[in-house]
Amino acid sequence: MSTALVIDDSRAMRLLVGSTLASFGFQVLEAGNGAEALRVIEEEPLRLSLLTVDWNMPVLNGLQFVRQIRSDVRFRHIPIVMITSECQPAQIEEALETGVDEYIMKPFNQDGLREKFALLGIGQ
């Protein structure tokens, strides 16, 4: 079974994204910020096959988290989907240049989420 880590400080967003991923057969782990996510990743380095991350979170934001993950050769292969309310073209470009594989803007619905995941070959 594939495992996804959903990283967002909003419990409601973690539940929404997590339930969509669970419908694709993922086991879902959760973290409320980037620092928590790094701890989870260190505990589960071989199981994770997808990360979703919000940009705006306390302690360690999503972009800082992505930089740390992409700087570690052990985790460079894991697809990262940023799910955020940040919608300026410069922010999208920065996230993609930092190492995000797909970018989803809030608000969204489950169909939109499924479409973006399909671009990564998830849920097909």
Q: Give per-residue pLDDT as tens, 49-60.
A: 999 999 999 999
Q: How confident is the model at residue 118 (pLDDT cuts 50, 70, 90)?
A: confident
Q: How confident is the model at residue 111 (pLDDT cuts 50, 70, 90)?
A: confident
- Give a yes or no: residue 55 inside a domain: yes
Hey, what are 70's tokens? 């992409």
- Give a yes or no: residue 114 inside a domain: yes
Contact 4, 49 (CB under 8 A): yes
- Give a yes or no: residue 32 inside a domain: yes
Domain that holds residue 101: 3-119
Q: Which of 32, 52, 31, 49 is nearest to 40 (CA)?
A: 31
Whether 110 shows a pLDDT value over 90: the answer reads no
Hey, what are 10's tokens? 């909003």
Number of domains, the chain: 1
In the chain the first and final C-alpha atoms are separated, in Å, by: 15
- Give a yes or no: residue 124 inside a domain: no
* Confidence (pLDDT) at 124: 57
For the residues 93-114, what does the mean pLDDT come to? 89
- Give a yes or no: residue 67 inside a domain: yes
Say which CATH number the domain at 97 has: 3.40.50.2300
Q: How confident is the model at residue 15 (pLDDT cuts 50, 70, 90)?
A: very high
pTM as predicted: 0.92
Whether 24 shows a pLDDT value over 80: the answer reads yes
